[in-house]
């Protein structure tokens, strides 16, 4: 006999009163986000030591350095869709489990294959965690003004994580071994898994509204993931092979073809992975471009100077990390000033000011800083102060531009797109400027890109 009892009503969506206190939750999410980028940058300084220990050639080192970013960038859009479908906290904890297990296995690797697999798997977990963290952040700050204020701080976490990765990896590898750098993501992951149920709201759509809001668009996810990964892989190999070599052209052309197919599919899909209208907003477009270019500039400086100081000046890994201490200080100070600047002058003008300041810093490094005979104090230091000061403000303003006006149900999508720009920007721009032939020309070209985009951002309200 069928029961006549009415079905229980689904739980009401969380209200600001029912949510956990936002400050501890934001601190947890911010630490996780910074750790994802820390892990991306953590092998840059000790890479020569890893190559010597595992007897790797240059091509192996390039792939090892890029492996994390390839799966991270390739799966971010799908991670954003999973967040919007299943909820931020659920996707976050799943991604943290994958990321944490891979981070624990990486330092135990006895050979290249195991370490490479661990780095690929770390990127897979990170691709779930990054958009999920932003999805939870959107639920923590439902009011648009509060969300914009939170994003002005969130935007600087990526470059802060990258700076910490360069600083601490050199210190750790000099004091013990490069393998101990993985202790940072393992520790943070364990703490986050323990604290997430206590601090973060459960934002699963099917529980809050009694229905599933999004399809998964598996064909679109397959095309986007494969296309981004193959195209990025082809661009990464331009560091070791010429542009017209099969090693570069084959993955690059196949990847671009798949991405063209993805764009065509999304225009007619009933529930697209990346709705075309999402990218048509001018403010969002400027914000995403600024995120990509700022990430490119800072990543390029880290790579070029880390290699230049160790190979050109014969500096140790510890001394190389120490050279970036002023960079970190300027970054922290500018990051604290970014929020008030955005609230007073607007996100567009703040982004323009940050890009302009960064352009000057890159220009100074291109003009004087890369010659081994140039003293650190007046060759490297001015650029290493101006670039992070501009990058912190640019990241903060651009993050606001890219996410303002996004409805709560698209929080994961916004996180996936923003982080994709952050990950793909360095790969695309760095590969393009490498064709100029010299490190100085690469930095100068990036500085011109900063200046041109600053002019566009200044006209964005």
CATH of 22-204+271-458, picked from 3.50.50.100, 1.20.1250.20, 3.60.20.10, 3.40.710.10, is: 1.20.1250.20
Rounded CA-CA distance 292/296 in Å is: 6
Q: Name the pLDDT band for 6 (thresholds 50, 70, 90).
A: very low
The rounded radius of gyration (Å) of the Cα atoms in the chain is: 22
Residue 264's nearest CA partner among 215, 216, 227, 213 is 227
Residue 38's nearest CA partner among 180, 155, 143, 181 is 181
Q: Confirm if 69 and 122 have CB atoms less than 8 A apart.
A: no
The mean per-residue pLDDT over the stretch 136-140 comes to 89
User: Two tokens at 10?
Assistant: 């689904």
Q: Name the pLDDT band for 8 (thresholds 50, 70, 90).
A: very low
CA angle 14-140-199, nearest 5°? 85
Q: Name the pLDDT band for 29 (thresholds 50, 70, 90).
A: very high
Higher pLDDT, residue 317 or 113? 113
Give the 3-state DSSP-derived string for the chain, with helices as H, strands as E and coil as C.
CCCCCCCCCCCCCCCCCCCCCHHHHHHHHHHHHHHHHHHHHCCCCCHHHHHHHHCCCHHHHHHHHHHHHHHHHHHHHHHHHHHHHHCHHHHHHHHHHHHHHHHHHHHHCCCHHHHHHHHHHHHHHHHHHHHHHHHHHHHHCCCHHHHHHHHHHHCCHHHHHHHHHHHHHHHHHHHCCHHHHHHHHHHHHHHHHHHHHHHCCCCCHHHHHCCCCCCCCHHHHHHHHHHHHHHHHHHHHHHCCCCCCHHHHHHHHHHHHHHHHHHHHHHHCCCCCCCHHHHCCHHHHHHHHHHHHHHHHHHHHHHHHHHHHHHHCCCCHHHHHHHCHHHHHHHHHHHHHHHHHHHHHCHHHHHHHHHHHHHHHHHHHHHHHCCCCCCHHHHHHHHHHHHHHHHHHHHHHHHHHHHCCCCHHHHHHHHHHHHHHHHHHHHHHHHHHHCCCCHHHHHHHHHHHHHHHHHHHHCCC
Residue extents of the structural domains in the chain = 22-204+271-458, 218-270
The mean per-residue pLDDT over the stretch 429-439 comes to 66
Q: What is the pTM of this model?
A: 0.83
Q: Is the dihedral of CA 123, 124, 126, 127 positive or negative?
A: positive
Rounded CA-CA distance 116/166 in Å is: 20
Would you state the pLDDT for residue 213? 53
Rounded CA-CA distance 112/144 in Å is: 47
Higher pLDDT, residue 391 or 425? 391
The mean per-residue pLDDT over the stretch 51-76 comes to 85
CA 190, distance to chain mean position in Å, is 21
Of 182-196, 270-284, 348-362, which gets the smallest average pLDDT? Answer: 270-284
Rounded CA-CA distance 232/70 in Å is: 7
Would you state the pLDDT for residue 210? 43
Would you state the pLDDT for residue 313? 82
Q: What is the number of other CB atoms lying within 10 angstroms of the CB of residue 283? A: 20
Residue 39's nearest CA partner among 147, 152, 119, 135 is 119
Burial of 170 (0-12, 13-18, 19+ CB in 10 A): buried
Would you state the pLDDT for residue 345? 92
Segment 198-228, tens digit of pLDDT: 999 887 765 444 444 556 788 988 999 999 9
Residue 420's nearest CA partner among 125, 152, 78 is 78
Exposure string over 116-152, b if 16+ CB within 10 A, otherwise e: bebbbbbbbbbbbbbbbbbbbbbbbbeeeeebbbbbb
Q: Confirm if 215 and 246 have CB atoms less than 8 A apart.
A: no
């Amino acid at each position: 006999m069928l029961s006549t009892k009415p079905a229980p009503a689904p739980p009401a969506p969380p209200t600001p009163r029912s949510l956990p206190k936002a400050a501890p939750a934001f601190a947890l999410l911010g630490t996780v986000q910074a750790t994802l980028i820390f892990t991306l940058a953590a092998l840059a300084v000790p890479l020569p030591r890893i190559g010597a220990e595992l007897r790797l050639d240059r091509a192996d080192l390039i792939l090892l350095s890029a492996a994390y970013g390839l799966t991270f960038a390739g799966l971010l859009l799908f991670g954003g869709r999973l967040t919007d479908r299943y909820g931020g906290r659920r996707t976050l904890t799943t991604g943290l489990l994958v990321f944490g297990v891979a981070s624990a296995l990486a330092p135990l690797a006895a050979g290249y294959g195991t370490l490479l697999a661990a780095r690929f798997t770390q990127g897979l977990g990170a691709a779930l965690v990054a958009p999920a963290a932003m999805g939870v952040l959107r639920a923590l700050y439902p009011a648009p003004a509060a969300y914009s204020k939170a994003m002005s701080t969130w935007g600087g976490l990526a470059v802060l994580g990258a700076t910490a990765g360069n600083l601490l990896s050199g210190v750790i590898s000099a004091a013990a071994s490069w393998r101990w750098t993985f202790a940072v993501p393992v520790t943070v992951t364990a703490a986050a898994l323990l604290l997430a149920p206590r601090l973060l709201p459960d934002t699963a759509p099917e529980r809050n509204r009694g229905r599933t809001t999004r399809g998964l668009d598996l064909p679109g996810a397959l095309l986007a993931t494969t296309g981004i990964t193959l195209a990025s892989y082809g661009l990464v190999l331009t560091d070791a092979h010429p542009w017209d070599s099969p090693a570069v052209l084959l993955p690059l052309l196949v990847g671009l073809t798949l991405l063209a197919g993805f764009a065509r599919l999304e225009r007619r899909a009933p529930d697209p992975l990346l709705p075309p209208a999402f990218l048509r907003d001018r403010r969002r477009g400027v914000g995403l471009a600024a995120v990509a270019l700022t990430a490119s500039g800072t990543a390029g400086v880290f790579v070029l100077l880390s290699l230049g100081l160790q190979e050109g000046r014969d500096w140790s890994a510890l001394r190389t990390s120490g050279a970036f201490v002023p960079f970190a200080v300027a970054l922290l100070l500018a990051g604290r000033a970014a929020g008030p600047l955005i609230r007073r002058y607007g996100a567009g003008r703040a982004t323009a000011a940050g890009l302009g300041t960064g352009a000057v810093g890159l220009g100074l490094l291109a003009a004087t800083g890369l010659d081994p005979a140039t003293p650190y104090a007046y060759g490297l230091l001015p650029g290493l102060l101006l670039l992070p000061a501009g990058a912190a403000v640019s990241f903060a303003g651009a993050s606001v531009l890219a996410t303002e006006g996004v409805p709560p149900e698209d929080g994961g999508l916004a996180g996936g797109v923003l982080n994709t720009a952050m990950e793909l920007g360095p790969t695309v721009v760095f590969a393009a400027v490498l064709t100029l032939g010299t490190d100085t020309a690469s930095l100068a070209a990036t500085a011109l890109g900063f200046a041109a985009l600053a002019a566009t951002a200044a006209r964005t309200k």
